[in-house]
């Protein structure tokens, strides 16, 4: 190894600047042979900063990537893809109810050899044989009286059907029973059928899931509904309230007179058309919350809720009873019709609910 030192005086500065040729040659050859590379301190600082920031990024990104991987749903191997949901959304029950009525009407009148008439309602009917005689009974009237949703797109519909046996079937039954069948047995009978109805496809159609099941009539409380009105009293045509009601109903049901003159401001009603009656008479009235106040003072803004019984004479000359729940309001010294209520008011007190 060879060494050389710096000159001790400025006089020898010139010698300091001149490096022996043997050292220069040795550095050039030795640097290449030894693989050493000279790096400046600034470059070293830059590399250190890059490495430090890279380490921080890895520390921060690691937990975030782990959380993202945990939250991502993993598809089960071999699991079938979920079936697309039906685009049909039924928000009311008129569709299933109407379908069940048509199905019951066809079912009641079907018989041996006419099974195909039920296939549009119940597809599996093609594999079922009926034993009854077709047309042995027929439906006079029917209506859906209860609709219960069993699950989305699936309902249980109870249909009431007024069914009359055919004359031929009734005679055969009388002969079989030796004439012991009473007269009521040969007339119309109200029967109830429970029908399972489901949506069919995506077009909004329906189909039955089984044959109808005959069931008992829906249970009722057996008591008359309690209305929130006092005892009814006979109508007095000299009472201002009764006079207003009589004239209003005459215009409303017979077409006689202008309807708007009896209405409170903001109340909009249209007369029944064509007019079904030729004459209307108020027979009795009851007032909500107490006894009817005859000839009550017409206090500005006062409101009364009345239950009105009417005898209406039809165009055929027949008299039929009707009942209206009316709201009256006082204005400018007279009673006016504020509303024709959709239903009479029920008494909802606890005493009447027990």
Q: Does the pLDDT at position 16 exceed 50? A: no
Q: Does the pLDDT at position 241 exceed 80? A: yes
Q: Does the pLDDT at position 2 exceed 60? A: no
pLDDT digits (tens, 9 = 90+) for 297-316: 999 999 999 999 999 999 99
> Which of 101-115, 164-178, 222-236 has the lowest average pLDDT?
164-178
Q: Does the pLDDT at position 90 exceed 50? A: no
Q: Which CATH number fits domain 233-351: 3.40.30.10, 3.10.450.540, 3.40.50.2020, 3.40.50.300?
A: 3.10.450.540
Binned at pLDDT 50, 70 and 90, residue 187 comes out as confident
pLDDT for the residue numbered 36: 52
Q: Does the pLDDT at position 53 exceed 80? A: no
Q: Does the pLDDT at position 326 exceed 80? A: yes
Binned at pLDDT 50, 70 and 90, residue 172 comes out as low
Q: Does the pLDDT at position 72 exceed 70? A: no
pLDDT for the residue numbered 57: 73
pLDDT digits (tens, 9 = 90+) for 124-149: 998 899 999 999 999 999 999 999 99
Domain with CATH 3.10.450.540 in the chain: 94-215, 233-351
pLDDT for the residue numbered 220: 80
> Which of 41-45, 241-245, 335-339 has the lowest average pLDDT?
41-45
Contacts of 189 (CB under 8 A, 6+ apart): 162, 163, 164
pLDDT for the residue numbered 121: 96
For the segment 89-107, the average pLDDT, to the nearest whole number, is 87
pLDDT for the residue numbered 315: 92
Q: Does the pLDDT at position 234 exceed 70? A: yes
Per cent of the chain over pLDDT 90 is 60
Q: Does the pLDDT at position 3 exceed 70? A: no
What is the residue-averaged pLDDT of the chain? 81
CATH of domain 94-215: 3.10.450.540
pLDDT for the residue numbered 91: 60
Q: Does the pLDDT at position 113 exceed 50? A: yes
Its pTM stands at: 0.61
């Amino acid at each position: 190894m060879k060494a050389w030192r710096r000159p001790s005086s400025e006089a020898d500065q010139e010698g300091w600047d001149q490096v022996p040729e043997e050292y220069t040659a040795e550095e050039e050859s030795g640097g290449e042979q030894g693989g050493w590379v000279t790096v400046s301190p600034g470059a070293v600082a830059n590399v250190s900063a890059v490495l430090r920031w890279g380490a921080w990024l890895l520390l921060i990104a690691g937990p975030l990537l782990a959380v993202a991987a945990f939250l991502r749903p993993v598809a089960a191997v071999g699991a079938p893809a979920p079936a697309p949901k039906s685009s049909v959304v039924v928000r009311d029950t008129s569709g299933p109810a109407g379908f069940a009525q048509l199905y019951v009407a066809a079912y009641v009148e079907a018989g041996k050899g006419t099974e195909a008439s039920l296939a549009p309602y119940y597809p599996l009917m093609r594999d079922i044989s009926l034993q009854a005689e077709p047309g042995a009974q027929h439906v006079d009237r029917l209506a859906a009286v209860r609709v219960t949703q069993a699950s989305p797109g699936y309902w249980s519909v109870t249909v009431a059907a007024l069914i009359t046996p055919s004359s031929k079937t009734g005679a055969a039954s009388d002969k079989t029973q030796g004439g012991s069948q009473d007269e009521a047995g040969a007339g119309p009978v109200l029967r109830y059928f429970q029908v399972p109805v489901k949506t069919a496809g995506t077009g909004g159609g329906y189909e039955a899931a089984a044959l109808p099941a005959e069931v008992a009539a829906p249970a009722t409380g057996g008591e008359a509904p309690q209305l929130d009105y006092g005892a009814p009293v006979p109508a007095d045509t000299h009472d201002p309230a009764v006079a207003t009601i009589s004239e209003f109903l005459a215009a409303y049901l017979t077409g006689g007179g202008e309807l708007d003159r009896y209405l409170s401001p903001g109340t909009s009603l249209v007369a029944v058309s064509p007019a079904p009656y030729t004459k209307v008479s108020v027979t009795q009235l009851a007032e909500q919350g107490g006894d009817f106040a005859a000839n009550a003072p017409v206090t500005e803004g006062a409101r009364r809720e009345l239950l009105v019984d009417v005898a209406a004479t039809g165009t055929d000359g027949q008299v039929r009873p009707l009942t209206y729940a009316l709201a009256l309001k006082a204005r400018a010294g007279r009673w006016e019709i504020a509303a024709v209520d959709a239903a009479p008011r029920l008494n909802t007190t606890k005493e009447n609910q027990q």
